[in-house]
Amino acid sequence: MRIKTAHKVLIASAIAFFIFFGIWELKNYAKTGEIGALGIGLLSVLVAAGFVIYFRSLKYKDF
């Protein structure tokens, strides 16, 4: 397996994790109303969006 392929697999799994975790925390906020859960949920979704942008930029990089 090439390093670029392994890197893409790891980034894709991080995207899936942060989306899942963000949704889980947002559901927790809906149940409990805790502001911390809202912050963590939104931050997780933003991190996932950042990873998506990075993942798409890998198309143009060669390593």
Tens of pLDDT, residues 5-44: 999 999 999 999 999 999 999 999 999 999 999 999 999 9
Report the alpha-carbon angle 3-54-46, nearest 5: 135
Residue ranges covered by each domain of the chain: 3-58
As a whole number of angstroms, the distance between CA 56 and CA 10 comes to 14
Q: 28-54 b/e with 16+ CB inside 10 Å = b?
A: bbeeeeeeebbebbeebbebbeebeee
Binning pLDDT at 50, 70 and 90, where does residue 63 land?
A: low
List the structure tokens of 60. Answer: 């143009």
As a whole number of angstroms, the distance between CA 40 and CA 46 comes to 10
Least confidently predicted of 1-5, 14-18, 45-49 = 1-5
